[in-house]
Structure 1
Amino acid sequence: MSNFKTGIDFAKEQDENDTLSCYRNQFHIPKDKQGNDMIYLCGNSLGLQPKATKDYINQELEDWANLGVEGHTHAKNPWLGYHEFLTDSMAKVVGAKPIEVVVMNTLTANLHFMMVSFYKPTIERYKIIIEADAFPSDKYAVESQLRHHGYDDKEGLLLWKAREGEELLRYEDLEAILKEHGDDVALVMIGGVNYYTGQFFDLKRITELGHKHGCMVGFDCAHGAGNVELNLHDSGADFAVWCTYKYLNSGPGSLGGCFVHERHAHNKRLNRFTGWWSHNKETRFKMRDEFDAIPGAEGWQLSNPPILSMAAIKASLDIFEEIGMKKLNEKSRALTAYFEFLLKQVGDDSIRIITPENPDERGCQLSIQVKNADRSLHDKLTDAGVISDWREPDVIRCAPIPLYNSYQDVYHMVERLKNILE
C-alpha cells in the first residue's frame, strides 16, 4: 500500500476498516498514571498479556486444587500430554509439520540441545558461522559449544559481518565465507530475524548454501515466530529454536519451541541428550525399559511439561489459530509500511531507519537510528507515553504488533517523537 496520507483522520479511517482491530480488546494495554492507554511498541521484547490468559491458567489451578495428581489424566486439559495441545497451532505459526515441532524448555537451552545433535565437529570440520551482531546469548552459546568440544572459541567462530558503513548483511559475503572456509564449517547458525536491525533473512537460501558445502544449518527464530511467515519446513533447515514471550505473548520467561526437520524424525542414531519425556509414550511408565526415542521433535524432550506456562501459551496460540499467520502478516506489512511512511515525513536528517525497506526482508520491527542520541531520548519517549526499546548506541526499536497495535498508535508515536526532536 503506497497511498498513505498524513493526519490523524487517515489513521482513524484505517482503524475503522481494519478487520483485525477488534483483537486489541482481547489484550491488556498498559496505562499511564492518568489511566490512558500507553502506546506499546515493545512486543518484540515482551508481548502483551491476552485477557484470556488468566482463565486458562486458573483452569489448571482449579484442576490441581480439585484433582491433585489425578489431573494428569482427568483435568479438563489432561496434563500428561498437554504439550500436544500446542503442537498443531505452533506448527502453523512457524510453517512446519506437526511432527517437526515441540514446545519445551527455554530458548538458549533448546539451542544447546539442538547443537548436541546437529553440531558434530571433526578434526577437519568444526567451525561455526554466526552473524557478527547476533543476539549475545546465541554467540555465547556457540562459543561454549566450541570450548566444550575442545576448540578455540575465537578461531573456531566465523562471523558474517556487515560491510564498512552498512548495517545489513549481504548474502554474497556469506557465500564468500563458505567458499573460503566451507570445508572447515560444521554448522551455520543464524538468527532468522536479526534482533538489532530487524533484517529477515532468506532461510531457504541460507540453508541451501550451507547444505551445498556439507554444513548443518539452524536458525534462532526468537524474533521471527509470530512475526513473519518462517516456512521452516520448506526452508529445509535442520533445526530451529524460538521463544514464545515476544510475538507469541506467553509471558515473561515462558517456554520456547523447537523445530527438527522431518528428514531427521526417525533417525534414532542422532546423538541427543535424553530424558523420560522423549521416550516412547506407550512404554514410558513401565520405567525399566531401555530408551526408545519418540519420532520427530518430541524425541528431544526431557521432562514432563510445566503446565502453567503452557496454559499461557495455549491462550495466545488459540488467538493465532483463529486469525492465521496470513492475515496477521498482511496487516503487519501495511501497518509497518505506514509507520515507515510517517517517519520519513518527519523531515529530520538525524533519523534513519536501518531496517530493510523491502517488506519481504523484515517483519513489523523498525529500528530507528537517531544521530547523536543517547538513552535520554528513549526516556523522553517513555515519559510521553510510548513504550519502545532502546539498544546501544543510538537505536530505538519499535514493533507495531498487528494483534493489538492500531494505526492511531503509530501516528501518535511519530507525532510525539517529532515533538521531542523539535
Structure 2
Amino acid sequence: MNFQPTLAFAQQLDAQDALKNFRNEFIIPAENGTAKQYFLGNSLGLQPKRTKEKLQTILHDWAKQGVESFFHAEQPWMDYHDRLTGPLSKIVGCLPHEVTVMNSLSVNLHLMLVSFYRPQGKRCKILCEAKAFPSDQYMMETHVRNHGYDPADAVVEIAPRPGEHTIRNEDILQKIVELRDELALVLFAGINYYSGQVFDMQTITKLAQQAGAKVGFDLAHAAGNIEIQLHNWNVDFACWCNYKYLNGGPGAIAAAYVHERYHKDASMQRFAGWWGYEKATRFQMEKGFKPIQTAEGWQLGTPPLLLYASLLASLEIVEEAGWSNINAKRKQLTAYFWYILDEVNKTQASPIIEFITPRNEAEHGCQVSMNMLQRGKEIYTALMEAGYFVDWREPSVIRLAPVPLYNTFEEVWKFGEQLKKIVSR
C-alpha cells in the first residue's frame, strides 16, 4: 500500500478497519477524561471490559455453591480449562490437547526442562540466544548446575555479529551443526524481548532435531503477536505468558505446549502433581503417578479459577475478532508504523532513530525497538509526559508496539507528529 503521512489518510485506514470496533472492548487508560496512547501491549496488555464480569461470575459461584461449583456452577469449574485450550491452540498453531494452562512462564519452563533437558555425557549443552530474558538465563543456569555441569561450558549463547543488533539465522544453524554431538537442547525465544527479532523457529527446530537435540521456545513475546505453527513445525515444547498480547492481566496464568508424541510416553521424566493425574481415578487418591495422556499431564495443583476467568475474557475477544483477521491488521498497522517513523527520521539533518528490530515482515511482530542515537532518555521522558505509554531499555532503546485489537492508525500518526515535535526541540 502507498501510505501517506496525513491525518486524513490515517483516519481513512481506521474507517476501513474490519476490527475497529474491538477497541471498544478494552479500557483505555485516560487522564482527565482524555484517552492516553497505549503502545505497551508488548509488556502488559490492556484490560478487557468483560474481565470484571468474568471474575464476578466466579466470585458469585464461590459464594453461592462453594466447592460444589466445580461440578454444579452454570459453567462447571472442572471443565473451565477446556474453554481456554481451544482458542490458545489456534493462536500457537497446535492441537487443543497439546496445550495446558497453568502456573507462570518461569515455572512452566522449569517443568519442561525436567522433561526435555536430559543431558548424558558430552551431550549436555543448551544453545540459546545471547541476551535472553533474565528468567530464562537463570532457569538454564540452575538446571545445568543441578545436573552437575558448569553453565560457562554447558550454556552456549549465540550473539549478534560485531556492529549488528540481531542474530543471523545462518549463525544459529552453523552453531547447531558445530555442536551436533554435544547438543542436548536448543531453547530460544520466539521473539527476542529486547530487539523484537523473530527467530526462524521452523528451521531451527528441524536442524536441531536432526542433530539429536530437543527443541523448545519461550513464546512470551510471540504468542498472540505473530503466526505460529508449533505442531506442524514439530516443536517439542513451548511456554508462554498470557499477559502481553493476550491481555490476561498482570501475572496472568501462563500456558505450555507439549507435542502429542510425548503424551503417552511412560519414560518421560517430570515433576508431578495431583491435578496432572488421570481424571477418571484422580479422586481415589492412590499412590503412583498416572499422568493424563495430554499436555494436562504436566499440571500440578488445583487451578486458579479467577486467573482462568481473566484469561477467558480476552480469549473470547480474540475468537470474535478472528485470529487471521488480527494478523492481517497487525501487518498493516506495523507497516504503517514503520512508515511514520521513517517520516520522523526524514525531518532531521541526520537520522535520530536506528531501528534494531528487523524490517523484514517475517522477522518482526508488533514491537519496534528504536535505538535513539541522541537524547534517548530525554525523548522517552517527553513521550511519557505527553501521554504516550512506551518502554525504556538501557542504554538507549525505546520499545513500543501498536497492537491490532486496540491501537488505531490515527494513534500511530499522532505518535509520529508528537515525536517530530520532541526531536525538533
TM range (shorter): over 0.9
Aligned-residue CA RMSD in angstroms? Answer: 1.0
Mapping 1:275-314, distance limit 5 Å = 275-314=273-312
Q: 1:266 aligns with which of 264, 267, 270?
A: 264
Check conservation: 2:390, 2:399, Cα contact below 8 A.
Answer: yes
Q: Is 1:41–2:43 an aligned residue pair?
A: no
- Residues 114-156 of structure 1, C-alpha deviations (whole Å, 9 max, x = no match): 0000000111211101100211111111011111111111111
Q: 1:63 aligns with which of 47, 52, 61?
A: 61
What corresponds to 1:12 in structure 2? 11
What corresponds to 1:372 in structure 2? 374
Measure how far apart 1:377 and its partner are. Answer: 2.2
Check conservation: 2:169, 2:199, Cα contact below 8 A.
Answer: no
Measure how far apart 1:14 and its partner are. Answer: 0.6
Q: 2:334 aligns with which of 333, 336, 342?
A: 336
What corresponds to 1:222 in structure 2? 220
Deviates more, 1:78-87 or 1:49-58: 78-87
Check conservation: 1:93, 1:320, Cα contact below 8 A.
Answer: no
Q: 2:164 aligns with which of 148, 163, 166?
A: 166
Amino acid at match of 1:5: Q
Q: 1:243 aligns with which of 241, 244, 255?
A: 241
| SS of match in other structure, 1:217 | strand
What corresponds to 1:210 in structure 2? 208
Measure how far apart 1:289 and its partner are. Answer: 4.8
Q: Which runs of 5+ in 2 are unaligned?
A: none
Deviates more, 1:16-25 or 1:260-269: 260-269
Matches of 2:220 and 2:402, distance apart in 1? 17
- Structure 1-normalised TM-score? 0.98
Matches of 2:416 and 2:142, distance apart in 1? 42
Check conservation: 1:82, 1:305, Cα contact below 8 A.
Answer: no
Matches of 1:354 and 1:116, distance apart in 2? 34
What corresponds to 1:383 in structure 2? 385
Check conservation: 2:246, 2:314, Cα contact below 8 A.
Answer: yes
Check conservation: 1:339, 1:410, Cα contact below 8 A.
Answer: yes
Amino acid at match of 1:35: G
Q: 1:397 aligns with which of 396, 399, 407?
A: 399
Measure how far apart 1:178 and its partner are. Answer: 1.9
Deviates more, 1:410-419 or 1:398-407: 410-419
What corresponds to 1:24 in structure 2? 23
Measure how far apart 1:16 and its partner are. Answer: 0.8
Q: 2:149 aligns with which of 148, 151, 160?
A: 151
Matches of 1:18 and 1:190, distance apart in 2? 34
Matches of 1:403 and 1:215, distance apart in 2? 37
- Residues 71-94 of structure 1, C-alpha deviations (whole Å, 9 max, x = no match): 111112211232122111111111
Matches of 2:181 and 2:169, distance apart in 1? 18
Check conservation: 1:130, 1:159, Cα contact below 8 A.
Answer: yes
Count, aligned residues: 420
Check conservation: 2:22, 2:321, Cα contact below 8 A.
Answer: no
Check conservation: 2:81, 2:101, Cα contact below 8 A.
Answer: yes
Amino acid at match of 2:420: K
Check conservation: 1:241, 1:258, Cα contact below 8 A.
Answer: yes
Check conservation: 2:125, 2:155, Cα contact below 8 A.
Answer: yes
What corresponds to 1:411 in structure 2? 413
Q: 1:84 aligns with which of 82, 85, 94?
A: 82
Matches of 1:109 and 1:252, distance apart in 2? 16
- Residues 249-283 of structure 1, C-alpha deviations (whole Å, 9 max, x = no match): 01000111100011112112100000111111000
Measure how far apart 1:361 and its partner are. Answer: 1.3
Measure how far apart 1:288 and its partner are. Answer: 1.8
Matches of 2:328 and 2:131, distance apart in 1? 29
Identity of aligned residues (%): 47
- Structure 2-normalised TM-score? 0.97
Matches of 2:180 and 2:414, distance apart in 1? 49
Amino acid at match of 2:370: I
Matches of 1:50 and 1:273, distance apart in 2? 34
Deviates more, 1:341-350 or 1:211-220: 341-350
Measure how far apart 1:374 and its partner are. Answer: 3.8
Check conservation: 1:221, 1:240, Cα contact below 8 A.
Answer: yes
Amino acid at match of 1:208: K
Amino acid at match of 2:384: T
Matches of 2:79 and 2:300, distance apart in 1? 13
